[in-house]
Structure 1
Amino acid sequence: MGPGTRISGGKQPNDRLASWFERTGWSKGEFARQVNRRARRLGALHVSTDTSRVRRWLDGEQPRDPIPRIISELFSEHFGCVVAVEDLGFKEPGALFTGSGVDLPWAPESVVDLLGEFSRSDLMLGRRGFLGASLALSAGPALVEPMQRWLAPVPVPPLPPRGPQARGRLGLGELEQLEETVRLFRSWDMQCGGGLRRKAVVGQLQEVTDLLQDAYPEPVRDRLFRLTAELALLAGWMSYDVGMQPGAQKYFVLALHAAKEAGDRPLGANVLGVMSRQMIHLDRPSDALELIHLAQYGSRDSAGPRTQAMLYAVEGRAHAGLGQADKCRRALSVAEQLHADAPEGDEPDWIRYFGEAEFSSEVGHAYRDLAYRGAGPAERAREPLEKAVRLFEGTAEYRRSLALSRVGLAAVYVLEREAEPACEAASGALALAGKVRSERLSSRLRRTAKSAVDLFGELPPVRRLADRLLGELPEAAFPSP
């Protein structure tokens, strides 16, 4: 039978699957057993495959989800390379990796399933050229409108038992240990950037999501969903930091869904604040503004003053990106008052980073962005950024924030046409870049150095900075996370 010959039912033999299958050396029975074992491990207890079913797949039948992904994982592990679902001649079930995938069902089982699938696929297939290229960013109404459903009241029943261990495998002591692990991951990220620990966070997220397959009392369930939201947010933030923007957005959206399941409005607002930062980074300030207004409205009665201060500071950044000087200043003024009123140690760990140094850095970057757009003097950005650098230098915990503040200050000096201070600030950031695995930091350093070269030409300090950058931080030197 030739490759184009149709068989009964109008299907064609799946030659792609047959090619990969023959290279394994497995019998049809062994292939079926491998699929069943992997399905049980994933909690897909309804999957029961036999030799006749394998034969039908080879004859062209499209298996149901999650079997195509299970086969993809099996072959990828067996051959030591990525064997994608489409490489096997299957259609992607649910189109998880096609398009942006941000308009998701607001239901607990969907959140658990999608988080499990996405984190598992990221661990196995998250290599530049596959997972990154298979996702696309959402923007404009396609992003904002689905996020507005975060506020919609949806009655959420407890997750039903979904397996033989439905009594719940997690005790309170273990839950506390996991919460402490998230705090440790967050600290590592601030010190070392997103590149070194990202896969560890994704792996922990995958394990915690698996625990959500069980049934728990409501207080434990809510804490576990909150923990899941924090891990998904951190995985997204680390992905954003290393330049994996579509994957980062996917994690942010899933984190927002998990925060909703936990009933934690302030955490959900924080997720939207991070999504706004990403849109500012991608030069989409209008989208950032829509998201931050949604965060402010949704958490107006529940977020503490430090969280609200952060949201208003990000709003100021979004207005600055639009060149709206008056609105930017008003938002920063509100943020300053809220931040001054914030008590120490009285809010969640995820907002602890937003102290005086981080607030000063946000203010300085907002005024720098206004200066970029000709909507204000660069001089106004200098003092808050210098203050941020001084404060960050007093602690080893916020190494990446120190480096980014130095780069921001260097950009201000370039705008003010002060070559030597610009090179000194950029060199200080470069000294930290080798200790911080952050493509965000690296790209900002390169961009600032290029601006200095374009403006100042062959001045000796500028030339020395450019040579150092080329030697210590070449563009090709940042490996795939």
Structure 2
Amino acid sequence: MTPHDPSGTFPSGSSSRRIGIDDVRRIEAVTARCRDTDYRRGGDAGRDDILTCLHASRPLTEAAMTEHVRTSLQVALADLHTLAGWTCFDVGDLTRARSHLDQALTLAREAGNDDLAANIHYRLGRIHLHHLQPSQALARFQLGEQLARRSATPRTVSLLLVNQAWAHARMGAEQPALTALDQAHETFAAIGPGPAPPWSAFFDATDFDSITGVVYTELAQHTDTSYTSFALPALTRAVNSFGDDMARSRAFCLIMLAINHLIEGDVEHGAKIGIQAVVTSSALTSTRTKDRMKPLANEAYRHRDTTRARDLADHITRFTQS
């Protein structure tokens, strides 16, 4: 094993020998395991293992290999850097998040993998969206859509379109948001059989419901409160479908579900779900959950004359300050 690979994932002398596809498969296995950990427990849970694997894999890039293995290695390392960037984003380390995603984009381009490059633009866009930069996010999503269309991958095209709808809705652009959402639905329906690439497999019918609910929630907050009637069914389906293996996604949905109930004036139910969102989020190593609590806290404050809303606000305060 290499000095920087205590797990023994890679053999010693990688830079001075010929490597094969089995070496690439080891990287893919680490990425898959760490991705599952990220979904279940949050970004800080498996980040050390990701960074260890990246460090240990560096000598492989200098080894002798066939062109097929080289391309596969570039894709595997791009995916691992993408996951590293995503976990850094999840814990609020934006400098390292962007650095890893930039490295991932370079590797994906070198490998000629437009679908993976499109996915990386999606993640860069989500960083902008999370930090209240919807116009920059929209530009990233649109660039990603172009690459996804070039690679002819409906799943990724739909992912980029539904996130464009989110960015439009965040800006209060009602009709562009609805148009992008309709296009995302049509494209999602065109996804064929067969497994998805590991970097986009998360985007299934449940995740589509989740983001659809988010789009309608944004519209309810920024344009017309009646959009809660569209948000609630989509978010309820998502909450009921996300399991423990997607605990962070479920937490995000619970937050949005609570916001919609509070917007509708159903304070009792909204507060109950909001507290459930806090409990679920408390088990995660993710600072994004704390950031996403802010709109829920604002809605709770609007109903501060009720005991349940004040109780929810107290729960959020204790969680975000912990």
Deviation at 1:244, TM superposition (A): 1.4
String of CA shifts for 1:397-420, please: whole Å, max 9, x gaps: 111100100001112222223211
Q: Please say if 1:463 is aligned against 2:310.
A: yes
Mapping of residues 252-267 of structure 1, within 5 Å: 252-267=101-116
Q: 1:383 to 1:285 in 2, by over 3 A?
A: same
Q: 1:330 to 1:363 in 2, by over 3 A?
A: same
Does the 8 A contact of 1:414 with 1:451 survive in 2? no
Q: Please say if 1:248 is aligned against 2:97.
A: yes
Identify the residue that residue 85 of structure 2 maps to in structure 1.
236
Does the 8 A contact of 1:205 with 1:232 survive in 2? yes
Distance 1:329 1:474 in 2: 33
Does the 8 A contact of 2:27 with 2:77 survive in 1? no
Counterpart pick for 2:239 among 380, 389, 395: 389
Identify the residue that residue 215 of structure 1 maps to in structure 2.
64
String of CA shifts for 1:86-129, please: whole Å, max 9, x gaps: xxxxxxxxxxxxxxxxxxxxxxxxxxxxxxxxxxxxxxxxxxxx
Distance 2:299 2:14 in 1: 61
Deviation at 1:470, TM superposition (A): 4.2
Q: 1:323 to 1:448 in 2, by over 3 A?
A: closer
Identify the residue that residue 7 of structure 2 maps to in structure 1.
none
Does the 8 A contact of 2:84 with 2:100 survive in 1? yes
String of CA shifts for 1:139-178, please: whole Å, max 9, x gaps: xxxxxxxxxxxxxxxxxxxxxxxxx965545332232122
| Aligned residue identity for 1:465 | L
Does the 8 A contact of 2:158 with 2:188 survive in 1? yes
Distance 1:470 1:282 in 2: 20
Mapping of residues 142-153 of structure 1, within 5 Å: none
Identify the residue that residue 366 of structure 1 maps to in structure 2.
215
Q: 1:465 to 1:165 in 2, by over 3 A?
A: closer
Q: Which secondary structure state, in structure 2, belongs to the residue aligned with residue 300 of structure 1?
A: helix
| Aligned residue identity for 2:171 | L
Does the 8 A contact of 2:290 with 2:320 survive in 1? no
Deviation at 1:299, TM superposition (A): 2.7
String of CA shifts for 1:51-109, please: whole Å, max 9, x gaps: xxxxxxxxxxxxxxxxxxxxxxxxxxxxxxxxxxxxxxxxxxxxxxxxxxxxxxxxxxx
Aligned residues: 311
Q: 1:210 to 1:417 in 2, by over 3 A?
A: farther
Does the 8 A contact of 1:410 with 1:448 survive in 2? no
TM-score (norm 2): 0.90
Q: 1:474 to 1:367 in 2, by over 3 A?
A: closer
Distance 1:288 1:340 in 2: 24
Distance 1:474 1:417 in 2: 24
Identify the residue that residue 254 of structure 2 maps to in structure 1.
406
Distance 2:41 2:152 in 1: 29
Deviation at 1:254, TM superposition (A): 1.3
Q: Which secondary structure state, in structure 2, belongs to the residue aligned with residue 276 of structure 1?
A: helix
Distance 2:196 2:221 in 1: 34
String of CA shifts for 1:222-265, please: whole Å, max 9, x gaps: 11111111111101111111111232122111111111111111
Q: 1:258 to 1:271 in 2, by over 3 A?
A: same
Deviation at 1:421, TM superposition (A): 1.9
Mapping of residues 66-465 of structure 1, within 5 Å: 167-168=16-17, 170-374=19-223, 377-379=226-228, 380-392=230-242, 395-445=243-293, 447-465=294-312
Q: 1:470 to 1:201 in 2, by over 3 A?
A: same
Larger deviation, residues 426-435 vs 399-408: 426-435
Quick check: which has more Rg, 1 or 2? 1
Q: 1:355 to 1:376 in 2, by over 3 A?
A: same
Identify the residue that residue 8 of structure 2 maps to in structure 1.
none
Residue ranges of structure 2 left out of the alignment (5+ in a row): 5-12
Residue ranges of structure 1 left out of the alignment (5+ in a row): 1-40, 43-163
CA RMSD of aligned residues (A): 2.0
Distance 1:422 1:345 in 2: 39
Distance 2:234 2:199 in 1: 23
Q: 1:469 to 1:294 in 2, by over 3 A?
A: closer
Deviation at 1:200, TM superposition (A): 1.6
String of CA shifts for 1:196-245, please: whole Å, max 9, x gaps: 21122122112223321223211111111111111111011111111112
Deviation at 1:458, TM superposition (A): 4.3
Distance 1:377 1:246 in 2: 39
Distance 2:73 2:281 in 1: 35
Deviation at 1:314, TM superposition (A): 1.0
